[in-house]
Chain A
Amino acid sequence: GIQVEQSPPDLILQEGANSTLRCNFSDSVNNLQWFHQNPWGQLINLFYIPSGTKQNGRLSATTVATERYSLLYISSSQTTDSGVYFCAEDSYGQNFVFGPGTRLSVLP
């Protein structure tokens, strides 16, 4: 099955800083999703982004499907952005295959 890698594994930022998280896939990308898991465990959908670029406030994401990677940009980070960010692919339209996540800590 598809393998998902994420980098960096851990990231510590000062409030107000910008960051880029990366997701690499071993196979073609069809239905890529970015999630944020808050410290209480709730997974929140951020972007469904099989290709191209999307923006939502301070967050944006870009997927280059032909090169099998996706990037998540966080600008002007806030302490509420802390948590774990996952990318995932549902190649078969049935279940997500998740990456190991990037743990982000934003310090005040």
Chain B
Amino acid sequence: ETGVTQSPTHLIKTRGQQVTLRCSSQSGHNTVSWYQQALGQGPQFIFQYYREEENGRGNFPPRFSGLQFPNYSSELNVNALELDDSALYLCASSLGSVGIPLGETQYFGPGTRLLVL
């Protein structure tokens, strides 16, 4: 186990609805990154939050938004769901620190499987 938890584990929504996914960071970590993994593909970076502020974003539209709370847990919100949003959503927490590579501290949660019908 990595110490990173996500909820819910599975979710079914219909097109046009909104969804909120949650992530609790590993103790001591101040950075959360979110990834989308479509079936049969590698994870793709959505965005990262560092100390409650967005700290980088991948090629995803504005209807993907996020929050990070003072305890460093995080939410991913997706509005106006589309069929292509069906995927495994992974969060990863890390200790954001200049000069320390991600691989040294970043750990992934078990993911939330979202199905959009």
Most buried by B among A45, A50, A90, A100: A45
Q: How far is the CA of A48 from the CA of B94 in the complex (A)?
A: 14
Q: Which residue of the partner chain A has the closest CB to B103? A: A48
Residues of A within 8 A of B103 (CB): 31-33, 45, 48, 90
Q: Are B110 and A94 in contact (CB under 8 A)?
A: no
- In the complex, A57 has a CB within 8 A of chain B: no
Q: Which of A42, A43, A93, A99 contacts B102 (CB 8 A)?
A: A93
Judge whether A42 and B41 touch: CB under 8 Å.
no
Q: Is B43 within 8 A of A98, CB to CB? A: yes
Within 15-50 of A, Cβ neighbours of B (below 8 Å) are at 30-33, 35, 40-45, 48, 50
B56 contacts chain A at the CB level, 8 A cutoff: yes
Please state if B102 and A86 are interface contacts (CB–CB under 8 Å). Answer: no
Q: What is the interface of chain B, defined by CB distance below 8 A to chain A? A: 2, 33, 35, 37, 41-45, 48, 55-56, 58, 88, 90, 92, 100-104, 106-108, 110-111, 113
